[in-house]
Structure formats: C-alpha cells, structure tokens
Amino acid sequence: MKKRKSVEPIVSYFIKPYIDYPEQDVLINNTSESIEIGYVVKSHTLVKASIPLNNLFEHVFVTGSTGSGKTYTVSRIVNELIARKHSVTTIIFDWHGEYRNLLREYDYIEPFKNSINIFSDIDSLVDLLVDTLDLTHPQAYLLEKIVKQSNREISDIDTLINIVENYVDESSWMRESRLSLLRKLSLLNRSRYVELFNSGNNGCLDRIINRDGGVYVIDLYQINNTLVRRIYMVFLLKKILNLALSNLGRVKSLIVIEEAQNIVDREKPVKLLLSMLAEVRKFGVGLIIVSQSPFKLMEDVMINTNTKIVHSLKSSIDLDIINKVLYLPEEYRRILPYLDVGEAILYTRGFKKPVLIKVDTN
C-alpha cells in the first residue's frame, strides 16, 4: 500500500502592488504665514507641505478610509497652531474619543458635565428635532403645532413629552403620528440622557468663545447612543456658531467636525445648520470637515472648501466623487487607493495643482 504524500497547506498573502509615485514639480504661489504638516513626496528638492494660515478659515475638507490617518492629520494642524501660539479658538467635536492622545494641550469637555438647554431657542427647536430625529411630515407638523400652541411654556424634556402625551387628537392619523412622535422623543428622556439637554445656562460655552485662543475637545464618545450623540452635537454646534458670530471676528475660531455626515449628509442634512455653515467664513470662523466617505456628504460642502486633504480611499464611488470636487491628474487617481497611512493628496489655494504629501509623525 502506497503512502500518501503530505500536502502542504497553501497560504495566501496579500502583497501590496508596487506603486511608482510620480516625481512632483511643486508649483506653489504663497508668501503668507503657513502651517507645516509634512513634506512633499518625491519632489526634486525637499519641500515642506504647508497650508497658509488664512486658508484654514476658508474651510478644510479631510477624507480617507478608516485608519488612513485623517485624525492624525487634523491633530497635526491643531498642534502647529498650539506651537505657534496663534490666538485661534479651536473646538473639536471628537466623535470617537481619539484626540486626547494626540494633542499637546487642550481643555477637556465632558458632555455630561456640560449639558445644554435646547429649549432656550424655541424657534429653532422644531427645525433641529425634525432633522435629527428624522420626523415624518405629519410628525413634524404636529410637533410644530404643539410647540406654537404651548408658546413659551416648554422649558425641559419632561414638559414637552407631557404636553405631547396629553394633546387631544383630532383624527386617527394625528393619534398615530403623536404616538410615533412620543416614541422618538422618549429617547431624550431616558435617565442617562435627560441631563444632557435640560441645563438652564450655557455651561462651558461662554468660556470657550470669550477666551483669546485655546483648544477644546468635546468628547462625544462618552455618549453611547449614536443618535443622542448626534442630537447633542447638532444643538451644541448651533449654540457655538451663534456665540462665535455674535463676537463678529473678535477672536478667530476653528471648528473641527468629525463624522461630518451627521450634519451635511447627502440625503438628510441638518438644514438649519447647513445654512449657517455657508455664512460663517465671513466672520472669521473656519471649519475642518472630516469624513471617511465623500459619497455620504453634500457635494457643495466639499466644493466650497478651499483646502482638501485626501488620504487613501478604497471605494470606487468615493473615488468618483473626489474626482468631481477636486480634479486629479491620472497618475494621482491611479495611486490613491494604495497610499500608505499618513500619505495624502493636498490641495489648497495658492497651489497650481495637487501634491502628494507625507504627514509628519513628529
């Protein structure tokens, strides 16, 4: 009887394709003060990758798939502002709780110790709840009707829910809509979350806006429920924008919005905030819009950023969108899915064309 030969198991390995990065002629027309974030890859001479300081206040878009280096790139920009002691108030909506380990210095803001009163502005309350809770048209109509009839009597979540519970239905559709509305509102009344929205003052907001500079990290990751996290982020951002605009340029502000699809989603944007974000650059407020998927965002938002930093993207849909909002030479489109962590394509006003960069890790 013949012995069977042992068969070695076949082990497959993923080998990253060899990428021949193009040599880059860096054509930059910039003489103003800049923020250095790294260096240009494969340039004829060593060239620092930098962003003119003023361009930060004409909005920045940072994108890339998970783990490509987006958060580190943003922290690099903020750390450069800290090192140069610029009088810029930087506010970071930290969706994943990552910035505390990356920044040189900051003030840490815990949501549960800094609640906000969402009822201080009844006029915008309905609009923001409609978009964040994804209310249907009948639910939105009913909520607006109840709020108008109650005038200024609503001061907290409990009162709002009590009024909705006791509202007299005029028809069967109204009863169905009212009960559905109650189910959605009840999320804000859970014991852990009710304290986030019933504060009678601005908490940390006045301190943030009235200081000349400083970095503030709002740790949204403390809020486990992602819908409640989004609602807190939306109402707090609205208040921060109101306060920043009321200062009319006294102190420049830079606002970092991680997971920006929660505000400027392609299908369901928060419309009230969208209109405010379109106006803030006039008042010395810059935005850093961060998202792992350009496809999820409204194209106008990306187009209207003067600085774009694109880390590796794998999805063909995302690649198509990027090519629409930032025309890329063919050699850049070809290598974009294969960029290493920390590598990115940078374009900002003053550049003749995009450049491939490596963000410093120092």
* Range picked from 14-28, 68-82, 198-212 for highest mean pLDDT: 68-82
Phi, psi of 357 (to 5 degrees): -130, 165
- Structural domain harbouring 161: 122-195
Same domain, 109 and 155: no
Tokens of 77: 């920009």
Domain assignment present for residue 190? The answer is yes
Which CATH number goes with the domain that contains 99?
Answer: 3.40.50.300
Same domain, 104 and 144: no
Mean pLDDT value of segment 334-361:
92
Same domain, 98 and 237: yes
Domain assignment present for residue 18? The answer is no
Domain assignment present for residue 4? The answer is no
Cβ neighbors of 142 (< 8 A, separation 6 or more) are 167, 174, 177, 178, 181
For the chain, give the mean pLDDT. 87
Last residue in a domain, options 195, 226, 245: 195
User: Residue 202: which of 286, 109, 273, 100 has the closest Cα?
Assistant: 109
The structure tokens 């792992």 sit at 292
Domain assignment present for residue 8? The answer is no
Quote the number of domains for the chain: 2
Residue 124 burial by Cβ neighbours in a 10 Å radius (0-12, 13-18, 19+)? middle
Same domain, 230 and 166: no
Is it the case that residue 13 has pLDDT exceeding 80?
no
The pLDDT value recorded for residue 28 is 64
Domain assignment present for residue 238? The answer is yes
Is it the case that residue 173 has pLDDT exceeding 60?
yes
Same domain, 105 and 221: yes
Same domain, 92 and 64: yes
Residue 277 burial by Cβ neighbours in a 10 Å radius (0-12, 13-18, 19+)? buried
Same domain, 227 and 331: yes
pTM of this prediction?
0.89
Is it the case that residue 213 has pLDDT exceeding 90?
no
Tokens of 343: 């590598």
Last residue in a domain, options 167, 195, 223: 195
